[in-house]
Structure 1
Amino acid sequence: MRILVVCAVPEEAEAIEAGRAVRHEMDVLVCGVGPTAAAAACARAIAQNGQMGRDYDVVVNAGICGAFEGRARIGDVLIATDSVAAELGVALPDRLQPLDEIGFGSNRIGCNTVLTVAVEGVRGEILTLASVTGSRERAAELAARYPAAVGEAMEGFGVATAAHQSGLPFAEIRTVSNHVGDRDVAGWDWNAALKSLTGAVREL
């Protein structure tokens, strides 16, 4: 199986490379931060490798993230059931109306569960946002709007869109460095998240 693993920053790529399994052929792509950079870089990699006769079988977005408090803990592995664009829709005065409700597409893409069946962790929706949640009030709003969401990150839906439009299965795996809305980095643990990321990739 040939896997394209997409991550945002070099530190994540190093953790992913450390978990590389010999049973798969795996390319690791550092796409940059945010859904737009992720979609563009992923689509380009899929197209370029296809032209060289090195087609991918599956695309994975992997990296660290924030988890919703009470749904996962720092260091946990999160496995997405769906990648959800939490800001994609119409911002009404009292709520966000997602694309699903207005007939212009969907703000969620289902994830392939076969690839991640052996990965141990917390399963649920992972939200994609273009801006990191910066307050506990905003975190509570998102948690209430998406009761099945376990975490938030910034690239998943972009990678999922590129994979989906290329006809490739998609999976998203994240590991928790902090809780959503908590901006006090003194309580964050990047090392624990990156260590868990290595273990999760090894289980693919």
Structure 2
Amino acid sequence: MRIVITSATTAEWMPIFVNVNELYTGKSSRLKLQFYQSGVGLLASSVAITRLAIEERPDLIIQAGIAGSFSKKYAPGQIVVVNNEMLGDTGVEERGDWKDIFDMKLEKGSYHPFEKRKLPNPWIKQYNLMNLPMVDGITVNQVTTQPARIAALKKKYGAAVESMEGASLHYVGRETGIPFIQIRAISNYVGERDKSKWLLKESIEGLNKVLLEYVDKLYNVK
């Protein structure tokens, strides 16, 4: 089984890169593990993950990274997996109302790879080996900071977390048929710009601890 762990930045997977069992990166014929940096944002990550999917054809792509939380239920430091991804800022704002590409009739919510305007992960039950909480996410190119915008996104999409790359993984995975899973560590609440209140270091450490355990489980799956 060929596995790729990808993140926007190397910092998000560096702890597992230096600590993972060398069996998985060199000696094992049962599980081959690689690491891949996609770059930050929807554009860079879409191109990178598409190239990865076409050129490498891995058996599983794991996108690992941090995320902001819209909900007190998912506090900084918690680890989640994303079930449905949605596009959070692709559209237009008119007279204070946010309209996405589906509202504007530029895309049909039922056309592949979308289902009911979402990008669900069809492999999530198979690959959520750690039984992590499953949440819905939105992907944005501009990190959300304004209270009114946060309220509008929560009302429209009901997502629990926000990232800048999640939809690229779901879109490419669904288009190519390559299984994937998106594992996120909550580093902060959406809108909180006081970095002293973020758990950036702790969330990355927790994320990589889970990744180490996750790879061990993958290796032992019959």
Instruction: State the Cα distance separating 1:16 from its structure 2 match.
Output: 4.1
Contact 1:3 1:58 in 2 (8 A): yes
The one-letter code of the counterpart of 1:61 is: Q
Q: Is 1:104–2:107 an aligned residue pair?
A: yes
Cα RMSD, aligned residues only = 2.2
The structure 1 residue matched to 2:202, chosen from 189, 192, 198, is: 192
Q: Is 1:123–2:126 an aligned residue pair?
A: no
Give matches, 1:20-35, under 5 Å.
Answer: 20=20, 22=24, 24-35=31-42
Q: Is 1:141–2:152 an aligned residue pair?
A: yes
Note closer, same or farther for the CA distance 1:68–1:20 as it changes in structure 2 (3 Å cut).
farther
- TM-score, normalization by structure 1: 0.85
The one-letter code of the counterpart of 1:76 is: Q
The one-letter code of the counterpart of 2:50 is: A
Q: How many residues align?
A: 198
Residue 46 of structure 1: aligned partner: 53
Instruction: State the Cα distance separating 1:203 from its structure 2 match.
Output: 4.0
Q: 1:203, 1:18 → 2: CA distance?
A: 14
Q: Is 1:170–2:180 an aligned residue pair?
A: yes
1:148-181 deviation digits (Å, cap 9, x = unpaired) = x111010111122222222212221100111100
SS at match of 2:129: coil
SS at match of 1:125: strand
Q: 1:91, 1:20 → 2: CA distance?
A: 46
Q: 1:150, 1:30 → 2: CA distance?
A: 25
1:70-104 deviation digits (Å, cap 9, x = unpaired) = 13101001211111111123434343333344261
Contact 2:13 2:208 in 1 (8 A): no
- TM-score, normalization by structure 2: 0.79
Q: 2:168, 2:128 → 1: CA distance?
A: 23
Q: Is 1:93–2:79 an aligned residue pair?
A: no
Instruction: State the Cα distance separating 1:142 from its structure 2 match.
Output: 1.6
The one-letter code of the counterpart of 1:59 is: I
